Structure 1
């Protein structure tokens, strides 16, 4: 028997130098260096010059540390937006920026002083600001390299920095526009204050954490009332901030709340002064130890809150000590006491109490009126609220309405001032008001109240959410200090009115808000902002409700901060009138000085020059506060989008893109700044993403050890893996990352890479002379072009929706399911075994070429480095893949429903073959004979076509309902390995392969 010929050298296998192993961490830096050397970004700008523009304005991150995974997600999303818009043929420049002022940088520089035990307040301000500027500049450089390593394209040679003189001048110019239109005022209101950082904080600089606080019930003796029986009784208040009692100036009641006047009764009898018929006074020592005075038997409390008050009082009485022993038997009777009378809150008008520490004299001896407060509820406490206008918004407004002014008692560091009559700074017990020990049941506040006989209960067990500074992580307080504000509801002059173009409402906590109801004749910052929100597209749409409810209910904007590192509030205030100077010439000199010398130009030594010869500097106070850093970043649209420094920018921007927390941060400050100065939003659309959580859904924390460092991920996997992860998750919601998730992403990447590797190999030496017209192609090729057309529509829709999760999913599903598992699998026989000149093989390669050019463009905004590697492998001399535009997909007719049915049948056939292959009855589907129900076969497919589509030996049809698979008895072709009846014995050639080999042999 003669030896059969080996036909392997006659098979046309794919050939490519493109490696299966990616090696991204090693390759990507080289690709990045090439982009920088060739100025690919500059080439792209020239190529798109004059086209329709798309402007994504960059929200500036703080320059104070290495990037984290949230930064990576944010920048990759922005880069994907810019690249896809550029791919559509638009001119989409991207100017990155950094926020360089404010506490994040200043706090870090102060840390250096604290470690050296130095006081930063003793350092000359210019020197301190220089250190802040150097610190920020260092981190700008570090972060810039890290963002570029992620493959983010942009104007890296010319970013915007809020600390650059032109930016600082632009911020000052915007502030002075507010001043010129009367949108600034100086007033005293309680604002969020950080005693640790010694400055006011914006709402966006505050985060909430669960804590356990001391809760106390305090008795205020009523000394005057139209209701005679109330005189001598005690109005009881409840609070979780004992430190505010020294600043109490009034009490508040709910006009519609029902109050009860009660006697406190003890087990075994009444307290001193109670009715004798209740029994003799038992536990008198307990009453004294609890701090209850002899005349504190009657209390005024909301009727609905008697039971929770009783529980607190029981707890307090049963934990006191007499002769060193706890008295568990001391208990308030279930009824708590004898109901004397009941009153509506409105009946309490004209009632006056005295402060528990009235014996100290001074302001403590002043009367404490009971005032009506609509905010008083019976949700908790006693239904009576103590009012401290220095430390509460409701307190401030109610007291102000009744002529009661703040005392400004607490200093910047959170301690009572030197001359305060109770716990002054000279008192050794005086500590920071945020110190738990200061507020503890045995702390100085409670101890003094207990000694005064006013503390009914005190326990350190109240769990609640409390505001903290997100930088120092320390608790914050409300503190009344003189600050500069932007009014939300003052009528604005000189700003063009905006009308709502579409009916829109926001569902806030207070119910539906319809900005269309705002009278257009009264233009306020709030109404302008609400109308602008209605005109803006939000992705996802729920962002409109979120920011709308925030703006609808927000208080006046606190602009001032008491720090050194920032843009100064460049106002001259007349010392006698208290009015700030509005003079366009002076303002122009101020802006020019800042442009020339930065913020250091705002200095007393320059006052005369700035004011000009007609004014005496001695008549004016130079404001020394700096601007809220959110005003800095909120002004970026003015000094970036409208600046000659970046002529390819324009305002309003097409898109702002940041995390969902920026609804109360950058999105809102930019909105308010622009509406106040331009009457419109600085953006046409806003996209928000959620937060990146650990793999188990918990918040990332260094202490938990569940953080994911993008720099380490790039070292292990490469930047393209981070990009693929970022663009695969549903980033509109909170999403996850972790080692196992990254492994899954890496596997997804591997499949995409292999798809391109196969196409590169299959298209080796492809020449235009091979191209086949669509009309001359086999039906499968036309169907695949039609499928590509469907994909193209999905991709464009995803770009329009900024839905990169859908974009990436559509791309990967097409590559895996339509190409690798279907089209490539079926047509590999044509590629390997058909004659090079056959129409069928040429048609397949023509479609492969079309697929390649489409997919390489689709994938380029996602896998920026891999796409460049793929493109340069096939076209090493044609420039960067990122200069290409959206592909043009040839039109192809195909009966899509018919092919859908065929693919469903194919899946059933493959499932039926699998058990035989698993049991080693057959080695592959090529050895199978398949009989399918004729009724399930779409019209027009022949048995030979079905065999090719199913990749089986033969296919027959029958009139039954079952699908049958058996092993073929035919011989196997020695070249294509198909089992066919035309092959006489294993190793011989089928008719097709015989013709191809004969032709090859003839041309040797």
Structure 2
């Protein structure tokens, strides 16, 4: 059998043994109480001569004591000083993980646990691999979530929405917001420390810090001078419920939103003669352009109708409400017209060509303006008529058409979502998404008639629609004067930079590229007060922005020295450079006025590579999948614009946590899993016991890698607790077994080890290499799975059950026992290091119980390359053949106490050669084969005629029961077998 398949084959076979009930259970293996091994105690007179495992490490920790124990471990192992210690080490390699700042607006939830623990596993495994790690935790302290919660702190003093003009009201809101953010940050910091996260928690970054704000303003002027930041009048997503513009990342889409939709026919006022000549004389005055829209409130603001130049359109004679009309309609969407008026009411007159469409002009809805019909690339044939209503101030595609054809872009909707004075009197002051929609429809119905707009069909339409993710209310698109980053200009360089970035899991790479390609521009200004001010002044006469480096550098210095509130608490005399003020006053000119907008929080956090690291040097950004359109993208755009480089070398993306039934967690459903209750328990400890931080970390490590979603519930936590307990039991056994083993004194050359010990080193070599490969690929779920399989099957199921007799009963310093102890020593050391990134508390707790190295700390170690002598594929292949004998033995007598048995093995020559590796003599009671099969005697006989390769003959052991080792190997009625007698004699 090829050596590469050894572990896989062994795992398959050992799982069968476990199913047959032959696995050595941890309870039996590791319950060492009062110096006795449960279920196999030697006679009292010989118990002192048996080398039973002993350790001060408890087998179990009660739920009530878990939090206290983990806190004491953190203190004893120096969790709080580890980051500073490793920064002081002379290590050549450095690994930079840049922390994406969570919002400082509430208690930590399970999503925080997933993100922060994944980061910690990454840092700790890099630390063990010899890296010096760089990680500064951060918090995003600005933005509407915090501003809105801050306004609820003192309801009596709450400032009404959209009434933020006075500096005193602004400063009060900012003061409340900062206090709220700092309090939430401290709660989160405390919980993150409870999880055992590696960091210097006294050195964090906050986007509200004056130094951070100052550096951000310097980046602003850098990007402005390079032409990437500009001010323009453009349509942006706007939240009437909050009175501010929104970024795409601040939207969520409601799939069941219901809009009023209308098919509206607008009368043609001008057409080519060739078009009119094709119509009957009676129909020439009845030519209409029909449109379909789900935003009737935008119809009074219509400026054009767009058509697809590469699609066929028809002239259709229609009978509608006793009227005869000629409609222009897309051939592909003719079924829509049939649905509205009936198939029998339609007569197709022929096609209308592109040049004919482009020559049409029509009367706008609700007024007498003539508007054009224009070709446009954004028109699709998914729904409607194939002719698209265009209101440039209220649609992104509409706006681009307006730029191309120089159409007017006039916004007649204010910040509260109400019609302004530029519309007809009947609509002024109405909320466009509420009574505004209905009033427009009523006006259309009332004003229809000869050569007026005809309301062909009105119906409700259910579709996906953007909502403000904070207020859960619908948004509108509204043209305003805002500050933008020119993403179109950055896009190609950003895509090129992204090609050098590794994205894990790889299947998500297309998502990042798609988000980048589809972003037309980035609005970075907000009409709020809790954030970083846009450091721009405006000419008092022309209202044109004044953006100069000297001014912004001065503002940055003032804000860094006196706090970012200075923008609102100080006047222009204090914010502008003194030299500029003196110059303006000398010339008799008024001072420019400071602006009132703040920067989008995505610019805040997207600048962190500059404000925290100083340059784009992060090895890794690790966040949830939603950050493709958030922090990942904003960081990429700002970094590429400023430096031409991506701020990260790798992106790692994790999914979201759902409840055990796969549902999104919400308070209304009562299915929220609180990570603090997971670690420390709930009020009702019987329903919500304390599992401890390591169980939470095990769940994250086992489920959060390479999954789009992960589920968590009581069952998952109990499974995690059981897994960690199994690991604890095996580490405890290893620790207890090697209590008196001194590697420097007792070590043996690998070639002198027993075959099963060399085989175990071979399997350990394979396992450890595999585990660290999984770590390097950030497949932490594979690490957890491989580790548990190795511990349960390979270590407990095979090795420990095979060697325990010589471990307990051989001479304390005998070579056979030392051979096993050498392997157990390496198993303990290697497993401790490989499990430590996921289970740091357990690993350090085990280390604290080392009898000869009380100051030995796991994370002060560096893994080294395993000895090549451990890798023995030829031995492994031979050993595999011996395992087939064990497998058949266990199947043939699954319920036996094998120590009462002796087995006669007849095998063909090739197999016999492999068996002779474990037993050189014809018959033996202490050979490696006896160990492997766990019987008292093995007899070997070669028979080349064996059809199946070998046969087994079982019989009752002929020897008597040894009172010391409990095996049936004594002769002539003696109390002790020859081996035990020799050990006792030498001991005495």
Superposition TM-score, scaled by structure 2 size: 0.86
In 2 relative to 1, CA 470–905 (structure 1 residues): closer, same or farther, beyond 3 Å? farther
Q: C-alpha offsets along residues 837-860 of structure 1, whole Å, 9 cap, x if unaligned?
A: 211101211222222222222222
Map 1:254-333 → 2, pairs under 5 A:
254-265=308-319, 271-274=321-324, 297-311=325-339, 313=340, 332-333=341-342
Tell me by how many angstroms 1:937 deviates. 5.2
Tell me by how many angstroms 1:945 deviates. 2.4
Whole-Å Cα distance in 1 between the matches of residues 906 and 108 of structure 2?
59
Q: State the partner residue of 1:488.
A: 487
Q: C-alpha offsets along residues 170-218 of structure 1, whole Å, 9 cap, x if unaligned?
A: 1111111112223221111111111112111111112222123332211
Whole-Å Cα distance in 2 between the matches of residues 241 and 171 of structure 1?
39
Q: Is 1:334 matched up with 2:388? A: no
Tell me by how many angstroms 1:129 deviates. 0.6
Q: State the partner residue of 2:928.
A: 945
Q: Is 1:383 matched up with 2:392? A: no
Q: State the partner residue of 1:72.
A: 113
Q: C-alpha offsets along residues 40-73 of structure 1, whole Å, 9 cap, x if unaligned?
A: 3323332x24532111110100000111111101
Map 1:821-860 → 2, pairs under 5 A:
821-860=797-836
Q: Is 1:455 matched up with 2:424? A: no
In 2 relative to 1, CA 775–913 (structure 1 residues): closer, same or farther, beyond 3 Å? closer
Q: Is the 8 A contact 2:159 2:169 kept in 1?
A: no
Q: Is 1:555 matched up with 2:520? A: yes
Q: Is the 8 A contact 1:222 1:233 kept in 2?
A: yes
- 1:232 pairs, out of 286, 291, 299, with 286
Whole-Å Cα distance in 2 between the matches of residues 456 and 722 of structure 1?
60
Q: State the partner residue of 1:177.
A: 222
Tell me by how many angstroms 1:629 deviates. 0.6
Q: Is 1:565 matched up with 2:539? A: no
Q: C-alpha offsets along residues 104-147 of structure 1, whole Å, 9 cap, x if unaligned?
A: 21121234466877515366211111111001000000000111
In 2 relative to 1, CA 10–300 (structure 1 residues): closer, same or farther, beyond 3 Å? same
Stretch moving more, 732-741 or 615-624: 615-624
In 2 relative to 1, CA 937–62 (structure 1 residues): closer, same or farther, beyond 3 Å? farther
- 1:983 pairs, out of 940, 951, 971, with 971
Map 1:90-129 → 2, pairs under 5 A:
90-112=131-153, 119=160, 121=163, 124-129=169-174
SS in 1 for 2:291: strand
Stretch moving more, 183-192 or 152-161: 183-192
Q: Is 1:614 matched up with 2:583? A: yes
Map 1:563-602 → 2, pairs under 5 A:
563-575=528-540, 580-602=545-567
Q: Is the 8 A contact 1:788 1:889 kept in 2?
A: no
Q: Is the 8 A contact 2:317 2:327 kept in 1?
A: yes
Whole-Å Cα distance in 2 between the matches of residues 4 and 535 of structure 1?
69
Q: C-alpha offsets along residues 636-674 of structure 1, whole Å, 9 cap, x if unaligned?
A: 1112112xxxxxxx7411111111221211111111111
Whole-Å Cα distance in 1 between the matches of residues 632 and 897 of structure 2?
61
Q: State the partner residue of 1:348.
A: 357
Q: Is the 8 A contact 1:250 1:371 kept in 2?
A: yes
Whole-Å Cα distance in 2 between the matches of residues 965 and 413 of structure 1?
91
- 1:153 pairs, out of 184, 198, 204, with 198
- 2:837 pairs, out of 850, 854, 861, with 861
Q: Is the 8 A contact 1:791 1:814 kept in 2?
A: yes
Q: C-alpha offsets along residues 342-375 of structure 1, whole Å, 9 cap, x if unaligned?
A: 21344211211113322xxxxxx22122111122
SS in 2 for 1:669: helix
In 2 relative to 1, CA 346–25 (structure 1 residues): closer, same or farther, beyond 3 Å? farther
Whole-Å Cα distance in 2 between the matches of residues 208 and 964 of structure 1?
69
Q: State the partner residue of 1:474.
A: 473
Q: Is the 8 A contact 2:80 2:199 kept in 1?
A: no
Whole-Å Cα distance in 1 between the matches of residues 869 and 607 of structure 2?
51
Q: Is the 8 A contact 1:853 1:887 kept in 2?
A: no
Tell me by how many angstroms 1:605 deviates. 4.2
In 2 relative to 1, CA 379–525 (structure 1 residues): closer, same or farther, beyond 3 Å? same
Q: C-alpha offsets along residues 399-458 of structure 1, whole Å, 9 cap, x if unaligned?
A: 2322212221111122212453155344xxx2351x4x764xxx3332332233332212
Q: State the partner residue of 1:653.
A: 618
Tell me by how many angstroms 1:974 deviates. 2.2
Whole-Å Cα distance in 1 between the matches of residues 752 and 177 of structure 2?
70
Q: C-alpha offsets along residues 885-914 of structure 1, whole Å, 9 cap, x if unaligned?
A: 224534425542542553465366346435
In 2 relative to 1, CA 641–937 (structure 1 residues): closer, same or farther, beyond 3 Å? farther
Q: Is the 8 A contact 2:306 2:376 kept in 1?
A: yes
Q: Is 1:219 matched up with 2:287? A: no
SS in 1 for 2:662: coil
In 2 relative to 1, CA 525–632 (structure 1 residues): closer, same or farther, beyond 3 Å? same
In 2 relative to 1, CA 937–705 (structure 1 residues): closer, same or farther, beyond 3 Å? farther
In 2 relative to 1, CA 302–447 (structure 1 residues): closer, same or farther, beyond 3 Å? same
Whole-Å Cα distance in 2 between the matches of residues 8 and 848 of structure 1?
23
Q: State the partner residue of 1:727.
A: 701
Whole-Å Cα distance in 2 between the matches of residues 422 and 218 of structure 1?
22
Whole-Å Cα distance in 1 between the matches of residues 440 and 76 of structure 2?
68
In 2 relative to 1, CA 416–339 (structure 1 residues): closer, same or farther, beyond 3 Å? same
Q: State the partner residue of 1:701.
A: 666
Whole-Å Cα distance in 2 between the matches of residues 216 and 18 of structure 1?
75
Q: State the partner residue of 1:465.
A: 464
Q: State the partner residue of 2:655.
A: 690
SS in 2 for 1:61: coil
In 2 relative to 1, CA 592–721 (structure 1 residues): closer, same or farther, beyond 3 Å? same
- 1:29 pairs, out of 30, 50, 71, with 71
Whole-Å Cα distance in 2 between the matches of residues 373 and 45 of structure 1?
59
Q: State the partner residue of 1:927.
A: 901
Whole-Å Cα distance in 2 between the matches of residues 4 and 772 of structure 1?
32
Q: Is 1:760 matched up with 2:735? A: yes
- 1:782 pairs, out of 758, 761, 766, with 758
Tell me by how many angstroms 1:557 deviates. 1.7
What RMSD, in angstroms, separates the aligned Cα atoms of the two structures?
2.7
Whole-Å Cα distance in 2 between the matches of residues 399 and 633 of structure 1?
33
Q: C-alpha offsets along residues 697-742 of structure 1, whole Å, 9 cap, x if unaligned?
A: 3333333333322111112201101111111225232222222122
Superposition TM-score, scaled by structure 1 size: 0.84
Q: Is the 8 A contact 2:262 2:296 kept in 1?
A: yes
Q: Is 1:745 matched up with 2:786? A: no
Whole-Å Cα distance in 1 between the matches of residues 961 and 50 of structure 2?
13
Q: Is the 8 A contact 1:449 1:455 kept in 2?
A: yes
Q: Which runs of 5+ in 1 are unaligned?
A: 275-296, 314-331, 359-364, 490-523, 643-649
In 2 relative to 1, CA 840–299 (structure 1 residues): closer, same or farther, beyond 3 Å? same
Tell me by how many angstroms 1:797 deviates. 2.1
In 2 relative to 1, CA 933–265 (structure 1 residues): closer, same or farther, beyond 3 Å? farther
SS in 1 for 2:651: strand
Q: Which runs of 5+ in 2 are unaligned?
A: 1-41, 449-453, 681-689, 920-926
Tell me by how many angstroms 1:684 deviates. 1.6
Q: State the partner residue of 1:60.
A: 101
SS in 2 for 1:264: strand
In 2 relative to 1, CA 774–423 (structure 1 residues): closer, same or farther, beyond 3 Å? farther
SS in 2 for 1:874: coil
Whole-Å Cα distance in 2 between the matches of residues 684 and 829 of structure 1?
53
Q: Is the 8 A contact 1:194 1:475 kept in 2?
A: yes
SS in 2 for 1:218: strand
Q: Is 1:86 matched up with 2:58? A: no
Tell me by how many angstroms 1:304 deviates. 2.2
In 2 relative to 1, CA 146–176 (structure 1 residues): closer, same or farther, beyond 3 Å? same
Q: Is the 8 A contact 2:965 2:980 kept in 1?
A: no
Q: How many residues align?
A: 893
Whole-Å Cα distance in 2 between the matches of residues 450 and 420 of structure 1?
18
Whole-Å Cα distance in 1 between the matches of residues 651 and 140 of structure 2?
20
SS in 2 for 1:413: coil
Q: C-alpha offsets along residues 553-604 of structure 1, whole Å, 9 cap, x if unaligned?
A: 3212211111110001101233556654343332321110111122222248
Whole-Å Cα distance in 1 between the matches of residues 72 and 870 of structure 2?
44
Q: State the partner residue of 2:982.
A: 995
